[in-house]
Amino acid sequence: MKKYVIILIGAISINGTRSGSEDSSLNVLYLCAPFLLGDYMYDNKYMKMALKEAKKAYLIGEIPVGAVIVYKDKVIAKAYNEKEKYNDVTRHAEITAIRKASKKLNNWRLNDCIMYITLFPCPMCASAINQARISKVVYGTVPNYDDYEKTVDILNNNYYGNPVDIAESLLNEECRQLIQDFFKKMR
């Protein structure tokens, strides 16, 4: 997204220099802003919601991970990690969010849905995301683990499900801080 802002500023300055007209620069801004800043605004809005979910997990002593699923610009599922609470390894935020979204749409195929997650998914959740045919994943921070590349492969796999677009959130710093605070508190 940062690159979009740079491109936008670049486009405005190039346009301004060439035409020497403030009006044309503003035209570029007006034309590009909703398109370019749209992702930015949604990223912030929905990742903030996912962070709110993650904080709920934090407060009950769970690894703070939150997930939000958006369909046609509407939030259809919110969830947080509850593995300890239910003694259930499948209670990761992503899987619970998928269950809720599937129930809401009455369909296990979640095409055109975007998932916002505060932490890059584990292989189990990546497989569920892929098989549920979620179109895009926007993640907060990446945990320190060796399976990152393998997990990206699972998300991109087209054997069980659909390849998933992957994007890093602008709020990665906030997401990373929350996880760090949790592990600091646990020590």
Smallest distance, Zn ion to C-beta of residue 125, A: 3
Helix H, strand E, coil C: the string for 44-97 is: HHHHHHHHHHHHHHHHCCCCCCEEEEEECCEEEEEEECCHHHHCCCCCCHHHHH
Check residue 125 for interaction with Zn ion (CB under 5 A): yes
Smallest distance, Zn ion to C-beta of residue 57, A: 12
Check residue 110 for interaction with Zn ion (CB under 5 A): no
Smallest distance, Zn ion to C-beta of residue 80, A: 12
Check residue 133 for interaction with Zn ion (CB under 5 A): no
Check residue 154 for interaction with Zn ion (CB under 5 A): no
Residues 6+ apart with CB under 8 A from 90: 124
From residue 146, give the alpha-carbon distance in Å to each of 93, 121, 150, 168. 21, 13, 8, 18
CB nearer to Zn ion: give 92 or 133: 92
Q: Which two tokens stand for residue 42?
A: 């949604």
Smallest distance, Zn ion to C-beta of residue 8, A: 35
Q: Total binding residues for Zn ion by CB under 5 A?
A: 3
Check residue 91 for interaction with Zn ion (CB under 5 A): no
Check residue 122 for interaction with Zn ion (CB under 5 A): yes
168 is a catalytic site residue? no
Give residue number: closest CB to Zn ion.
125
d(Cα 160, Cα 142) in Å, to the nearest integer?
Answer: 24
d(Cα 15, Cα 133) in Å, to the nearest integer?
Answer: 41
Of 53, 62, 82, 94, the active-site residue reads 94
Give contact residues for Zn ion (rule: CB under 5 A).
92, 122, 125
